[in-house]
Amino acid sequence: MTTDAFDDSALVRLEIAAAAARLVAQDGADYGSAKRKAARQVLGDAPGRANLLPDNDKTEEQVRQYNALFLADSQPARLFQLRTIALQVMEALQQFHPLLSGPVLNGTAGPHDEIYLQLFAESAKDIHIFLLNKNVLLDMSESPHFKGARYDAVETASFLWKNEGVHAAMYELDDMRGALKPKDGKVLRTDIAGLRSLLAAGLADGAPPAPAIADQ
């Protein structure tokens, strides 16, 4: 393949990533569906479309740029609000060693995003009972294991907290080993202490105050 062909492919991937970022920021689409829809918008029914999908890192970069260009007046406050609520949930679930992941951690969270947690216990039943005893209404589903397809999917409890959606994937205690280790230099999860540091950094950077949060 010629250098020009490589350049053309890179430009197409960038265009798809930018279109996907708009879908993520405007509609709350997940990265996978946003990239596929963006590819159809950019390429139509062209053969080999799937081979030109950008990776998630490139799409995330474009979401950051979209937020900076079009949501600069609202996104920082929204992010701070979601991180504040995430901290409250994690503190309430502290006995299950909660870790935060997803857009609320990486800083791209916008108006449609929700909070993604990973909890660790001897048994998922322990988490079920704890939440039910708190009168939390649960919607159960499954999520892919963060360690990859070689591992079984894990139960995930979805619920509302302070009127925000929370999705808590439930893992065994052994899965905690290495969970906080960065991958390719990128932090994929953080604990309560790490989230407190992010909130403190946001205040130091002049993050707008989040709206008042009603009691659970």
Could you tell me the residue range of the domain that residue 143 belongs to? 75-204
Residue 171: which H helix or E strand, with range?
strand 164-172
**Strand partners of residue 139:** 158
The number of folded domains in the chain is 2
- pLDDT beyond 50 at 83: yes
CATH number at residue 143: 3.30.460.10
| Nearest CA among 161, 86, 154, 83 for reference residue 124 | 154
- Write out the DSSP string of 110-163: -TT--EEEEEEES-HHHHHHHHHHTT---EEEEE--TT-TTS--EEEEEEEETT
The share of the chain scoring above pLDDT 70, in percent, equals 91
- pLDDT beyond 70 at 7: no
15 domain-assigned:
yes
- Write out pLDDT tens, residues 48-71: 677 889 999 999 999 999 999 999
Mean pLDDT of the chain: 90
> How large is the average pLDDT for residues 178-200?
93
**At which residue do the structure tokens 């740029």 appear?**
65
Q: How many angstroms separate the CA atoms of 41 and 150, rounded?
A: 33
211 domain-assigned:
no
pTM, two decimals, is 0.87
209 domain-assigned:
no
In this structure, are 57 and 85 located in the same domain?
no
- Write out pLDDT tens, residues 128-175: 999 999 999 999 999 999 999 899 999 999 999 999 999 999 999 999
